[in-house]
């Protein structure tokens, strides 16, 4: 699903007055799009080569706080610039914004010809290159869940995010009637994304009131990650345009299910014609390569958890009986397992990681999963027997259940340090630690309500 607009077509559209704005954006540590809006004439004549941004964009938190403790940038170093170079293969028309195109950028340091190593696209490209050196291509697909609300983003913020009303009042999983009521937003999202060149498969109601899911066609790992980040931004913009709001928060309310982002993975020949996970003679049609890859995912499941659950809130989603698995076991078509084998016996055989929430950064999550799978392949790790039954209540391997535990595991991961580099891991350990520090010093509504009178 590369962009649907060539640079030559963009220049023609600009000359004819069909496009007057180009949004050039990078993907930040949180998976958000950060960048500039260019007058289209200036972009096609100059900025298509490069533009600049403050290097703090890859060293902030959700609040855009200038966080101390990073080696890459600080007040002491003066918060200099990075260079953003548009990847013109990602150019897209965006139908929901008048006369506007989008392009994603790679991020470079002024003093090096290499991409900034801790930038999310660079991290994923490094793992993709490791596969390519072995004659392998990773194909992936992500499923995105979110909650849709009656109120606008502005009204939600003004209320302190209290008293929010979801668009539905009951579980709408697969409900056609209830989702009909939500078509003003969901139809606009499907058609908008399709018009932007994203191959949308479907949308559906999910397992809580007001919960939605959007599914798109699989693609190569980098393109899927780019598309995922673009979809999240698109959903917010389109809902805002309809006077409503939505959230990708992993667990927005105690009484509601969490928002997941399942990641489907398979390995193919570089020409995309041969499914390397497929062996008709293997169990469920699994090749030895697939068995080693899945074994790597399981062996390193704790190491990669932070990349699948990056915030304190992420771990509130990990609740039994909510389709948010925490057990690092594999099983065929079993939604209680953290890793589910789908499409068994066909060329579409794949492994689905069900651990991650919709708050993950897709580039980081996919890079971590590929690194884990490669560890399994390179070390020929043996796949343990299939788990059968209810994994929630089984005494089997579990991923970290708190951010604090996930930080320690990330920091001590020899596999990830070897795959991504010490400086990259140190950078994201600092990001994770800051999130924990910020939470630890905050007084929550729950604490006040519980203890104001009774403590």
Q: What share of the chain is helix, strand, coil (3-state, %, to 5)?
A: 35, 20, 40
Q: Which residue has the tokens 């069909």?
A: 18
- The separation between CA 36 and the C-alpha centre of its own chain, rounded to angstroms, equals 22
- What pLDDT score was predicted for residue 351? 98
Mode of pairing for the β-strands spanning 100-109 and 219-220: unpaired
- Asked whether 276 and 217 are in contact (CB, 8 A), the reply is no
Same domain, 231 and 314: yes
Same domain, 134 and 74: no
Determine the Cα–Cα distance for residues 272 and 406; give it in Å rounded to an integer: 35
Inside any domain, residue 122: no
- What pLDDT score was predicted for residue 406? 98
Read off the tokens for 111. 């003093």
Inside any domain, residue 123: no
User: Residues of 204-235 as b/e, b for ≥16 C-beta within 10 angstroms?
Assistant: bbbbbbbbbbbebebbbbbbbbbbbbbbbbbb
Read off the tokens for 242. 């309809």
Number of domains, the chain: 2
Inside any domain, residue 337: yes
CATH code at position 343: 3.30.590.10
Inside any domain, residue 451: no
Determine the Cα–Cα distance for residues 360 and 314; give it in Å rounded to an integer: 9
- What pLDDT score was predicted for residue 45? 97
Its pTM stands at 0.97
Same domain, 200 and 282: yes
Inside any domain, residue 1: no
Same domain, 111 and 132: no
Same domain, 94 and 138: no
Same domain, 234 and 365: yes
Helix (H) or strand (E) holding 104: strand 100-109
- What pLDDT score was predicted for residue 269? 97
- Asked whether 424 and 307 are in contact (CB, 8 A), the reply is no
Instruction: Select from 48, 82, 116 the last residue of a domain.
Output: 116
Q: Phi-psi category of 63—alpha, beta or left, where left has phi over 0 and alpha has psi -120 to 50?
A: alpha
Same domain, 109 and 160: no
| 402 DSSP 8-state letter | S
- What pLDDT score was predicted for residue 265? 98
Same domain, 317 and 188: yes
Same domain, 383 and 291: yes
CATH code at position 55: 3.10.20.70
Determine the Cα–Cα distance for residues 96 and 47; give it in Å rounded to an integer: 23
- What pLDDT score was predicted for residue 8? 97
**DSSP states of 313-333:** GGGGS--TTTT---B--EEET
Same domain, 161 and 78: no
pLDDT digits (tens, 9 = 90+) for 161-170: 999 999 999 9
| 381 DSSP 8-state letter | P
Read off the tokens for 304. 């990669």
Average pLDDT per block of 10 residues along the chain, 455 residues long: 86 97 98 98 97 95 93 86 96 97 96 92 98 98 98 97 95 93 97 96 95 97 98 98 98 95 97 96 97 98 98 94 89 93 96 98 98 98 96 92 98 98 98 98 95 95
Judged by DSSP in three states, 54 sits in strand
Q: Is 380 exposed, middle or buried (0-12, 13-18, 19+ CB in 10 A)?
A: exposed
Q: Which residue has the tokens 């979110």?
A: 146
Determine the Cα–Cα distance for residues 28 and 59; give it in Å rounded to an integer: 9
**DSSP states of 108-164:** EETT-SSBPTTSHHHHHHHHHHHHHTTTEEEEEEEEEEEEEESS-HHHHHHTTT-S-
Determine the Cα–Cα distance for residues 64 and 70; give it in Å rounded to an integer: 14
**Domain coverage including residue 169:** 128-446
Residues 75-79: contacts with CB within 8 Å, 24+ apart?
A: 79/54, 79/55
Q: Phi-psi category of 26—alpha, beta or left, where left has phi over 0 and alpha has psi -120 to 50?
A: beta
Inside any domain, residue 377: yes
Mode of pairing for the β-strands spanning 330-332 and 339-342: parallel
Inside any domain, residue 183: yes
Read off the tokens for 78. 């003066």
Mode of pairing for the β-strands spanning 136-149 and 211-216: antiparallel
**Helices assigned H by DSSP within 181-324:** 183-195, 221-241, 288-299, 305-308
Q: Which residues are within 8 A (CB) of 85 and not within 5 positions of it... i.e. 6 or more apart? A: 49, 50, 105, 106, 107, 108
Inside any domain, residue 453: no
Same domain, 353 and 239: yes
Q: Is 295 exposed, middle or buried (0-12, 13-18, 19+ CB in 10 A)?
A: buried
* Dihedral angle, C-alpha 283, 285, 291, 297, nearest 10 °: -110
- What pLDDT score was predicted for residue 1? 52
Same domain, 103 and 193: no
Instruction: Select from 61, 85, 116 the last residue of a domain.
Output: 116
């Amino acid at each position: 699903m590369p962009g649907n607009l060539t640079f030559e077509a963009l220049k023609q559209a600009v000359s004819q007055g069909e496009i007057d704005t180009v949004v050039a954006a990078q993907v930040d540590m949180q998976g958000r799009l950060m960048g500039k809006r260019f007058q289209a004439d200036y972009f096609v004549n100059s900025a298509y080569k490069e533009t600049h941004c403050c290097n703090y964009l890859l060293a902030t938190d959700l609040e855009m706080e200038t966080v101390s403790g990073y080696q890459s940038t600080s007040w002491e170093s003066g918060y200099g610039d990075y260079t953003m170079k548009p990847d013109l293969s990602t150019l897209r028309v965006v139908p929901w914004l008048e006369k506007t195109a989008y392009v994603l950028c790679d991020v470079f340091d002024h003093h090096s010809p290499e991409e900034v190593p801790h930038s999310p696209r660079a991290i994923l490209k490094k793992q993709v290159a490791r596969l390519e050196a072995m004659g392998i291509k990773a194909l992936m697909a992500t499923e995105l869940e979110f909650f849709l609300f009656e109120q606008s983003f502005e009204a939600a913020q003004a209320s302190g995010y209290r008293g929010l009303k979801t668009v539905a009042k009951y579980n709408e999983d697969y409900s056609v009637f209830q989702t009909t009521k939500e078509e003003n937003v969901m139809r606009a999202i499907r058609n908008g994304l399709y018009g932007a060149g994203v191959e949308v498969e479907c949308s559906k109601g999910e397992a809580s009131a007001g919960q939605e899911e959007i599914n798109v066609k699989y693609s190569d790992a980098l393109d899927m990650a780019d598309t995922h980040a673009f979809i999240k931004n698109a959903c917010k913009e389109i809902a805002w345009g309809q006077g409503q709001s939505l959230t990708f928060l992993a667990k927005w309310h105690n009484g509601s299910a969490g928002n997941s982002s399942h990641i489907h993975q398979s390995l193919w020949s570089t020409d995309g014609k041969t499914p390397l996970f497929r062996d008709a003679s293997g169990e469920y049609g699994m090749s030895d390569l697939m068995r080693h890859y899945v074994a790597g995912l399981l062996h390193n499941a704790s190491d990669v958890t932070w990349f699948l659950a990056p915030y304190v809130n992420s771990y509130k989603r990990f609740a039994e009986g909510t389709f948010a698995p925490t057990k690092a076991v594999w099983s065929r078509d079993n939604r209680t397992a953290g890793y589910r084998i789908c499409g068994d016996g066909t060329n579409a055989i794949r492994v689905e990681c069900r651990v991650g929430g919709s708050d993950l950064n897709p580039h980081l999550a996919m890079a971590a999963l590929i690194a884990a799978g490669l560890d399994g392949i390179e070390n020929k790790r043996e796949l343990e027997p299939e788990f059968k039954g209810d994994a929630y209540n089984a005494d089997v391997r579990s991923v970290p259940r708190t951010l604090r535990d996930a930080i320690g595991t990330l920091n001590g991961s020899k596999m990830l340090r070897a795959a991504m580099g010490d400086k990259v891991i140190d950078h994201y350990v600092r990001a994770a630690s800051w999130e924990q520090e910020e939470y630890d010093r905050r007084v929550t509504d729950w604490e006040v309500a519980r203890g104001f009178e009774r403590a």
